[in-house]
Chain A
Amino acid sequence: MYVQTEIDGALLAQRTAQFRDQVARRLSGELSEDEFKPLRLMNGLYLQLHAYMLRVAIPYGTLSADQMDVLADIAERYDRGYGHFTTRQNIQFNWPRLEDVPDILDDLAKVGLHAIQTSGNCIRNVTADPFAGAVADEIDDPRVWAEVIRQWSTLHPEFSFLPRKFKIAVTGAAHDRAATWFHDIGLIVRENAGGERGFEVLVGGGQGRTPMIARQVRDFLPEAHLLSYLEAILRVYNLAGRRDNKYKARIKILVHETGIEDFRRQVEAEWAAIRDGALTLDPSSVARIRQGFAGPDLPARATTAHDERLARDFVYARWARHNLVAHRHAEHAIVTVSLKPVGGVPGDATAEQMRSLADLARRFSRDEIRIHHTQNVILPHVARADLPALHDALDAAGLAAANVGLVGDIIACPGLDYCALANARSIPIAQAISRRLAEPEALEAIGPIKINISGCINACGHHHVGHIGILGVERKGEEQYQLTLGGRSDENPAIGRVLGPGFTAEGVVPAIEKILEAYLAHRHEGESFIDAVTRLGNDPFKEAVYGA
C-alpha cells in the first residue's frame, strides 16, 4: 500500500482542524448554512433523508486491516453499528451527528483516512481495478497512477470549484474492471509498439440522467505527461463547462456539445502550453510511490489442503468456483467476500463483520483489503493452502455467500430508504430478487450476470451498465421500476436499452424471472446472459415479459 509521509499526516491534521473550526463557526452562527454547505460537502458530509451522511474515502479501494478496524470503531461509536460500501469504492456512514464529525475525522486521520473531496464540485476518489497488484492479467498496477492523481488533485486550488463533480478511474489491464468508459476521465494503461508504457486517455463518460460512453481523446500518452495532460483537460472543462444548469454541467455534456475533435484540439492546445513543465512526472517520485505497491513476498506453499477440500466438500467447491479469481502467483488466490447474503442489504457490513474482515486480512491476506465497486470486499493475497480455513472463518461470520458475479450479487444504491435524492426504494427490490432466486443450483444455472438497481436517475447504482438494469421512479405518487437490458461496464461498453413499460415493486421479480427464463430458453451452449442479450437484442425478452 502507499506509505503515507509526514506531509500526508500534516495535511490531514490541518484539514481536520480546519473543519473542526468550520463546524464550530456553523454552530455559533458565524457561518450560515449556505456558506457551510460547500465546505461540509468537500469533507464528504451530506444532509440526507434521515440524518447527516458521511462518505469516507477509500483511495482506489485499498484498505489496511488497521484502517478497517477504525471504520468498525467509528460505526460503533458514532453511528449505528454498520457502514455501507459504495459503487465508487468508498464507505458511507448514515447516522453521524454534525457535532461528532470533527472527532470522527480525527480518528480517521490517525490511520491516514479522511473524507476529503468525496463530495462537492471537485475531483473525487480516483477508483481503480479492485484486483490491482494481484491479478495475473495486468500490465501495471493502476493504483500507482491513482495515487499520483490523488496527490495532484487533493486540494488543487484551481479545481476546487469545478462546474460539477469529476470522477477518474484507472485500469492496468486490458480487461477493464474499473469501468473507465463511464468516467469523466478514464485511463487505460497501454504499451506502445516501442514497448513504452503510457495511457489511452478517455474523456466524457458517465451515467446519471444522460448516460454516455467516453470518447478517446488521446490514444497514447507517455507516463511522464500524465498530470500535465489531466491538467489540460481539467482546465478546458473548468473554463468551458456549463455553470448555468446543474444537469448539463458534467464534462460529458461539454464533450458532446463541443464534439470530440474540437475538444481534443482545445486540450492539446492547452497541453502544449504546459507540458514539459513542473507537472512532468519525476521518475524518482513515481518510483517512491510504486515501492509502496510492490506487494508482499508470497512464498510458495503447497495447495494440498485446498485441493483435498475441493474434492470432498461441494459447498466449499461452490464457494471456490464463484468467489475466487486467479492470482498472478499460482499458489495464491484473490478472494471476493460477498456482502450480498440472501435477503441482505447489498454492500452493508456491521462493525463486527468489519472487524472479522480486518482479522482475516491479517491472518490470510497480508493485512490488505480492497473494496470492489460492486460493493463486495476483496482479500487480495490469500494462499490457496489457507483457503479452507478462511472459508470456514467467513462462514462463521456470515460472510461465505457463494454468489459473486451471479444473480444474487446485486448492486444497489441506498435508494429512498436513505437518500434525499431518490424517488423509489432500491434495497427491498434487491432483497426480493435475492430471496426469490436464492437456490444455489438456480444461480449456477443462470451463470454470470450483473443486476444493478438505482433509486433515481442519478444512477448511483450504475443501472445503465447492468446486464439487467432497474431504475426506480415515481409515477403518480407510487414507486415504479423500469428495466433495461444489455448494459456493460467492461472494455466493450454499452448502455442498457429500456425493455418496455415499468412495473410496480411487486411486478419486478416476476419480470426478472421471465427475462431469465427467456435467456435459458434462447441461449447457445455456454453462452452468458450478457452475450445472449447482445446477440439477440431486447425483442425476445420483451416478448417474454410483456407478451406478443
Chain B
Amino acid sequence: HRSRTMAEQHRRVVEGLPKIVTANHLRGGDVVYLRSDRSWTAALAEAALWEGEAVEDGLDIGRTAETDRAVVGVYALDVVVDDAGRRHPRTWRERIRAAGPSVPYGTAALAALQGS
C-alpha cells in the first residue's frame, strides 16, 4: 500500500512538472524545442514552458508544424526549473538529447585519448 501511495505521489509530481514541446527537424534530424512564438530552437533554454491544460495547446502547435513538414515526432518532455530559473530535463534521456552525447566523438575522441 505504501509503495502504491509513493508511486501515486511520484506520478502526481511528474504530472505537475512544466513541459517543453520537442521534436526533430524533418530535413536535418536535429533536436528542436518549441518557442513561445511558435518557432523552433536547438537551445532548450529558449523553449517555452507549458503547464497544466496549456500543455495540449503546445502539443497542438507542434502537431501543426509536423503537418506542415517542419518537424517530425512531436512530444512533451518534463523539466525541473531550479531557483535560478534554469531548466533541467527530468530524465537522463532528455538531458543527453539536449546536450548531445556525453562522450567526445570522432577526432575529438581521439584528441581526448592523446590528452589523457
Contacts and interface: CB of A to CB of B under 8 A. Distances in A.
Interface of A: 26-29, 33, 47, 49-52, 80-82, 94-99, 341-345, 348, 350, 352, 398, 416-418, 422-425, 427-428, 431, 435, 474, 477-479
B24 A425 contact: no
Contacts of B102: 417, 425, 427-428
A344 B109 contact: yes
Interface string B101-116: 1110111011011001
Given A27-B26, A51-B24, A343-B116, A477 B105 contact: no
Contacts of B90: 477
A345 B107 CA distance: 11
Given A342-B113, A428-B102, A416 B96 contact: yes
B85 interface: no
Contacts of A477: 90-92
A47 B73 CA distance: 9
Given A49-B96, A342-B113, A99 B28 contact: yes
Interface string B35-61: 000000000000000000000000000
B91 A350 contact: no
Interface string B55-87: 000000000001001001100000000000000
Interface size class of B (residues with CB under 8 A): 20 to 34
Nearest to B98: A50
Nearest to A345: B109
5 contacts: A26-B69, A27-B69, A50-B100, A352-B107, A422-B93
Contact of A418 (B30, B92, B101, B112): B101
A29 B72 CA distance: 12
B92 A479 contact: yes
Given A343-B116, A345-B109, A350-B106, A97 B29 contact: yes
Nearest to B27: A99
A49 B73 CA distance: 11
Contacts of A51: 24, 28-31
Given A33-B72, A47-B73, A477-B92, A98 B27 contact: yes
Contact of B69 (A29, A82, A95, A423): A29
B113 A343 contact: yes
A96 B103 contact: no
A27 B28 CA distance: 11
A344 B29 contact: no
Contact of A82 (B24, B28, B105, B112): B105
- For the complex of A and B, the 4 pairs showing the least CB-CB separation, nearest first, are A51-B29, A82-B106, A52-B29, A417-B101
A477 B73 CA distance: 23
Contact of A49 (B72, B93, B106, B110): B93
A95 B100 CA distance: 11
B24 to A, nearest CB: 6
A348 B108 CA distance: 12
Given A47-B72, A344-B109, 5 more contacts: A343-B112, A422-B93, A424-B92, A474-B92, A478-B92
Contacts of A26: 26, 69
B13 to A, nearest CB: 12
Nearest to B66: A33
Given A47-B24, A99-B27, A477-B91, A417 B103 contact: yes
A395 B112 CA distance: 17
Contacts of A478: 92
Report which residue of B29, B101, B102 has the largest number of chain A beta carbons within 10 angstroms of its beta carbon.
B29
B25 to A, nearest CB: 9
A47 B107 CA distance: 24
Nearest to B103: A427
Nearest to A84: B105
A352 B107 CA distance: 9
Contacts of A28: 69
A348 B109 contact: yes
B75 to A, nearest CB: 12
Contacts of B109: 82, 344-345, 348
A29 B68 CA distance: 8
Contacts of B112: 343
Contacts of B103: 345, 417, 427-428, 431
Contacts of B93: 49, 416, 422-423
Contacts of B27: 27, 97-99
B106 A81 contact: yes
A327 to B, nearest CB: 30
A474 B28 CA distance: 29
Report which residue of B26, B72, B105, B106 has the largest number of chain A beta carbons within 10 angstroms of its beta carbon.
B106
Contacts of A96: 29
A47 B105 contact: no
Nearest to A28: B69
Given A49-B93, A350-B106, A97 B28 contact: yes
Contact of B105 (A98, A345, A422, A431): A345
Given A342-B113, A477-B90, A479-B92, A348 B105 contact: yes
Nearest to A427: B103
A410 to B, nearest CB: 14
A84 B27 CA distance: 22
Given A416-B93, A416-B96, A417-B102, A98 B29 contact: yes
B69 A98 contact: no
A81 B107 contact: yes
